Amino acid sequence: MQFGQLQRREFITLLGGSAAMWPLAARAQQPAKLPKIGFLGPTTPAAMSNFVASFVGRLGELGWVDGRTVAIDYRYTGGRNEQAAEIAIELVGRKVDVIVTAGPQAVLAIKRATSAIPIVFALAHDPVGNGLVASLGRPGGNVTGLSVQQTDLVGKRIELLREAYGFRRLGILANAGDPGAMLEMGEVEAVARSFGIEVATFQIRRAEDVAPTLEAFKDQVQAIYVVADPLVFTHRSRIGALAIGERLPTMHAAREYVEAGGLMSYGPNFGALFRRAAEFVDNILHGTKPADIPVEQPTKFDLVINQTTARALGLDVAPTLLALADEVIE
């Protein structure tokens, strides 16, 4: 009897000790907390799908897989700059480890919401002039990324458009609510007039302004320089279709506009910039401070021409210009 009681006491003690160890074992098996990336898209999920794929693809190559080694929280403004401030505050409240975005308005909104969380912009016009960073080589603060100096490319774009179509009157379409767009519009005016080209400017502030503005272009200009910004990018397909309907050749900042029906573009590959932004994020998640990562500028610029659009406009693009193109869309 005493032996049986002893066995029972030993069993209960062992069982109790094992039970005490279960919470520790369970905690040991729980996965470590994943780093969080906040992604603030300045347009819509559909409009940015290719850019997101480029960004996420490069992150994966670097070992950051969404849901496994990192968590990505996506938010989009729908092309409305006024939404950026609210979304920025929301992402900061979720205590993300780094925020990725594009465009000076979105960056400024996030910068106002936090001075501690690192911010990476995949592309932004004149980040020094817009107050995003102290300098390209030494950004300072919590912001770094890739600069797109759109005004530097204005002259080349106008020359290429003139080579494709010998116009004398140029219209400029720009979002009046975007300071970067207004800066580029002013540069287009100055450069075009230096070439002896007449200029008419047309400003939009919302999607509803696009159709009447393009209609107003018809009798005043012979070609359109479309200034890129989130609002314009979101509605690029509509702009392309309306311009074709009015038989107006267009010049753009990136191939995505040409894919949507624009005549031609000259500028950096936006997808490549988002891939590079992923490498910035990788450095930050490994401990590098944004202040120590210089802002980069693209060194390669692509000329893309849409031959289908050219035919719809009744244009015969010179073979020499087609030969210069990095891509011709048929």
pLDDT tens per residue across span 174-229: 999 888 899 999 999 999 999 999 999 999 999 999 999 988 888 899 999 999 99
Residue 297 lies in a domain: no
Same domain, 199 and 248: yes
Residue 4 lies in a domain: no
Same domain, 156 and 130: no
pLDDT of residue 3: 42
Amino acid letter for position 1: M
Same domain, 248 and 144: no
- 10 Å Cβ neighbour count for 50? 15
pLDDT band at 13 (very low <50, low <70, confident <90, very high): very low
Residue 55 lies in a domain: yes
Same domain, 132 and 222: no
The angle subtended at Cα 150 by Cα 116 and Cα 279, nearest 5°, is 45
Q: Domain span at residue 286?
A: 36-148+269-292
pLDDT of residue 9: 47
pLDDT band at 31 (very low <50, low <70, confident <90, very high): low
Same domain, 247 and 123: no
Same domain, 273 and 263: no
Same domain, 114 and 136: yes
pLDDT of residue 11: 41
Tokens of 118: 């690192």
Same domain, 65 and 204: no
Check whether 44 has a pLDDT greater than 70: yes
CATH number of the domain that 224 lies in? 3.40.50.2300
Are 40 and 82 within 8 A, CB to CB? no
Same domain, 130 and 245: no
pLDDT of residue 36: 97
Q: Which residues contact 119 (CB under 8 A, 6 or more apart)?
A: 98, 99, 100, 101, 107, 110, 111, 142, 143, 144, 145, 290
Give the torsion sign (CA, 65, 69, 75, 79).
Answer: negative
Residue 3 lies in a domain: no
Residue 26 lies in a domain: no
Count of the separate structural domains present in the chain: 2
- Closest Cα to residue 97, out of 53, 31, 140, 142? 142
Same domain, 252 and 120: no
Residue 162 lies in a domain: yes
At residue 98, φ and ψ (nearest 5 deg) are: -160, 145
Same domain, 55 and 120: yes
Q: Is the pTM of this model over 0.75?
A: yes
Residue 168 lies in a domain: yes
The predicted-structure confidence for 55-91, as pLDDT tens digits, reads as follows 999 999 999 999 999 999 999 999 888 889 999 999 9
Same domain, 190 and 282: no
What DSSP string describes 40-93? EESS-TTTTHHHHHHHHHHHHHTT--BTTTBEEEEEE-TT-GGGHHHHHHHHHH
